[in-house]
Amino acid sequence: MKIKKLIIENFRAYQDATEISFDDLNVIVGRNDIGKSSILDALDIFFNEIKSENDINVKAKKKEARIGIVFSDFPDKIILDSTYETSLTAENLLNKDGLLEIHKICGATGVKKVVLTSNYPANKELKGLITLDIDKLKEKATALNVTDEYNATIKAEIRAAIKNHLGSKIKYEEQEIEIFSKTKDKDGGDSNTKEIWTQIQNYLPVYALFQSDRKNEEKDSEIQDPMNFAIKKILKDPSLQARLNEIKDEVKKVADKIAKLTIEKLQEMNPEIAKELSPEFDDPKWESAFKFNLLSDDKVPLNKRGSGVRRLVLLNFFRAEAERLSVERKVPNVIYALEEPETSQHPDHQRKLIDAFISLSKNKHTQIVLSTHSPGIAKLLPPETINLITKDSAGKLKIEKNKDEIIREIAKELGVLPDIEVRNPSKVKLAVCVEGKNDIIFIETINQNISELKTIIDLNNNKGIILLPMGGSTLQFWVNNDYLGRLNLNQIHIYDSDIGSDEPNRYKKYVDVVNAKGNGNLAYETNLRAFENYFSPELITETYGVTIDTTSVKWNEADIPEIIAKHNHDKSESQKKWADLEKEDIKDKKGRIKNQLNETHSAKITLQHLEKISAKEEIVKWFTKIAELSK
């Protein structure tokens, strides 16, 4: 099951019903103390039943808060009666959109009841059909003269027969069905509906919340040493506790026996002292009996490392715990919620964290929820993943997403600044925008080393042209692009098409945005996968000694850095096979090859090399347009 939408009402600062749509990667941004943490906490209350007190909005007329979640990817089959298999669809327990919608109603001290929002039969004779016990259902079927055959021992079959009997006469309307209540009985309500909640709970995803405040308290033992905290968590396992109690009882039995024998012997020598003594056994503190640590290569223990490193380890410990719970509960889906994950992290670590979260979100069983007020983090993320929280003129909270017009507002709210600087905009006529620094090096190098291209336009000696890295598919693209627009510069954007990759044409929407402007704004996606594909096969062989069979490999789609990195790895003395390497290791090796190709070897490219891979016409067109728009 995956979250499709979160609905909160009368919860802390969210007085009006507020909806937040969810995807695989979700980023909650906004200023400090505006309600980001409330969203993560609401999810924690829903999934983990954490104690919730004083969370009702102070202006709420009805003293209860509501936390609702709409789910997709719910199970097709579910058992509601004994061992009989039915479905949420057949039982009309889905909302009008065909999705599973569950709301938890919270009072002053926590969750009071659970309701389903269902598109349920509204006919008087079918009112509350799902809540009836088997005797009442049989009475209902008799009263309605149901003639269909059904198994009178299975409630789901009787309900189906009744609805089938009425057929087209049934009218549906969205209504709430209570499936759990703490006020009805000690077991949580009507026995005819609580089984629905019991079964649905078995499929709910694991929700793991990693909060920023736990990381800010350096006195907290789990921060001082994440490994000690891990041991405490492990020792709370009930089955392990039972085994440890057996050991404790055995040790106590033997210790008592020795103590009594000792007192008996002392009685013979000094009765007065002996009668003052009695055996007393202290319960062992098991966490102090087990010690382990994570050591760096120079044997520095984790608890002596910096707070940023300890927090990284703790964060991944929580990830591991969530995955363990997922396996334990036999539920594949995990939701990782991280509040301000950038705290105490070096910018390099921040970038790696974001890359890791984006990668995790591509797992079909994983959703990521991040909250941040950091401009540095926000600009690393795809704009379509961002939920912006602001207040309207009346002071009410609003959440916006997937609207091009809020990009400027995001930049304004977080103070995101452009990564570019144009010292003399009056002299600059054209900005040539690419994804990153390697692309700039490639374009500048081939321009200077291929005379035919240099004749069209000499980039090094033209003060009217600047080359800018736009940072790929991030908020920074929009910030930089808007900044350039205000300078009234002509723009040419050239981005990798990434054909043949897992994300082909991922820059197309940015290309479309630029081309839609017209008036000196032009954007291209490369005909080949990436700039590294503009190195011909012969040049790759000459440089790295790797021969690529172009009859079996499509050159325009090939991952050239990976082919070379794999070749180099296979020729090395490494004991690990390429397929056994960690993803991060492969990424690093490919990155080094990309740097080598662009920084060192792009100077070897000739016009003849470009002709052999049918790239000459495309690249000549780039430089021709650069020359035209820089005048």
For 254, the domain range is 226-292
Q: Which amino acid is at 219?
A: K
Interval 352-382: pLDDT, tens: 778 778 878 888 888 999 998 887 777 778 8
Q: Are residues 288 and 434 in the same domain?
A: no
Give the list of residues 6+ apart from residue 484 with CB closer than 8 angstroms, or none. Answer: 420, 431, 433, 468, 491
Q: Is the pLDDT of residue 311 over 80?
A: no
Burial class of 385 by CB neighbour count within 10 A (0 to 12, 13 to 18, 19+):
buried
- The predicted pLDDT at position 158 comes to 92
**Residue 65 resides in a domain:** no
Q: Are residues 430 and 285 in the same domain?
A: no
Distances (CA, A) of 119 to 98, 247, 487, 489, 490: 8, 56, 54, 55, 54
Give the domain-ending residue among 292, 315, 347: 292
Please count the residues of the chain. 631
Which among 514, 532, 528 is positioned nearest to 431, based on CA atoms? 514
How many Å apart are CA 498 and CA 560, to the nearest integer?
A: 12
Give the list of residues 6+ apart from residue 481 with CB closer than 8 angstroms, or none. Answer: 433, 470, 491, 510, 513, 514
For range 309-325, the mean pLDDT: 64
Q: Is the pLDDT of residue 268 over 50?
A: yes
- The predicted pLDDT at position 107 comes to 86
* Angle formed at CA 549 by CA 543 and CA 555, multiple of 5 degrees: 80
Interval 53-112: pLDDT, tens: 678 888 888 889 999 999 999 988 888 776 788 899 999 999 999 999 999 999 887 888
Q: Are residues 425 and 284 in the same domain?
A: no
Which among 392, 389, 396 is positioned nearest to 372, based on CA atoms? 389
Interval 189-199: pLDDT, tens: 455 677 888 88
Q: What is the mean pLDDT of the chain?
A: 84
Lowest mean pLDDT among 137-141, 237-241, 536-540, 543-547: 237-241
Q: Is the pLDDT of residue 393 over 90?
A: no
How many Å apart are CA 539 and CA 604, to the nearest integer?
A: 8
Q: Is the pLDDT of residue 319 over 80?
A: no
The Cβ of residue 224 has, within 10 Å, a number of other Cβ atoms equal to: 14
For range 200-224, the mean pLDDT: 65
Q: Are residues 431 and 568 in the same domain?
A: yes
pTM for this model (two decimals): 0.66
- The predicted pLDDT at position 218 comes to 38
Interval 215-257: pLDDT, tens: 433 334 444 444 565 566 677 777 788 888 888 888 888 888 8
**Residue 15 resides in a domain:** no
Contact in structure between 103 and 68 (CB atoms under 8 Å):
yes
Q: Which H helix or E strand runs over 121?
A: strand 110-121
Q: Is the pLDDT of residue 187 over 50?
A: no
Alpha helices in 491-582 (DSSP H): 508-517, 537-544, 560-571
- The predicted pLDDT at position 43 comes to 95
**Residue 33 resides in a domain:** no
**Using N-to-C axis directions, what is the helix angle for 307-329 and 347-361, rounded to 10°?**
10
For range 516-531, the mean pLDDT: 94
- The predicted pLDDT at position 226 comes to 47
pLDDT interval class at 312 (50, 70, 90): low
**Residue 554 resides in a domain:** yes
Contact in structure between 614 and 441 (CB atoms under 8 Å):
no
Q: Is the pLDDT of residue 481 over 50?
A: yes
Which among 66, 50, 69, 48 is positioned nearest to 2, based on CA atoms? 69
Domain count along the chain = 2
DSSP string, 387-448: EEEEE-TTS-EEEEES-GGGHHHHHHHHT---S---S-TTT--EEEEESSHHHHHHHHHHHH
Interval 398-457: pLDDT, tens: 898 876 566 677 777 777 766 666 656 668 899 999 998 899 999 999 999 999 999 999
How many Å apart are CA 539 and CA 596, to the nearest integer?
A: 13
Lowest mean pLDDT among 289-298, 485-494, 522-531: 289-298
The Cβ of residue 441 has, within 10 Å, a number of other Cβ atoms equal to: 20
Interval 596-628: pLDDT, tens: 999 999 999 999 999 999 999 999 999 999 999
Distances (CA, A) of 448 to 458, 603, 604: 7, 8, 11
**Residue 499 resides in a domain:** yes
The Cβ of residue 347 has, within 10 Å, a number of other Cβ atoms equal to: 11
**Residue 249 resides in a domain:** yes
**Residue 314 resides in a domain:** no
Which 3-state string (H, E, C) describes 223-285? HHCHHHHHHHHHHCCHHHHHHHHHHHHHHHHHHHHHHHHHHHHHHHHCHHHHHHCCCCCCCCC
Give the domain-ending residue among 271, 292, 313: 292
Q: Is the pLDDT of residue 137 over 50?
A: yes
Q: Is the pLDDT of residue 166 over 70?
A: yes
Structural tokens at position 539 = 């040049």
- The predicted pLDDT at position 114 comes to 94
Structural tokens at position 245 = 């109690």
**Residue 28 resides in a domain:** no
Give the domain-ending residue among 234, 260, 292: 292
Q: Is the pLDDT of residue 271 over 50?
A: yes
- The predicted pLDDT at position 322 comes to 64
Q: Which amino acid is at 570?
A: D
Q: Are residues 431 and 574 in the same domain?
A: yes
The Cβ of residue 503 has, within 10 Å, a number of other Cβ atoms equal to: 9
pLDDT > 90 fraction of the chain, expressed in percent and rounded? 43
Q: Which H helix or E strand runs over 586?
A: helix 583-596
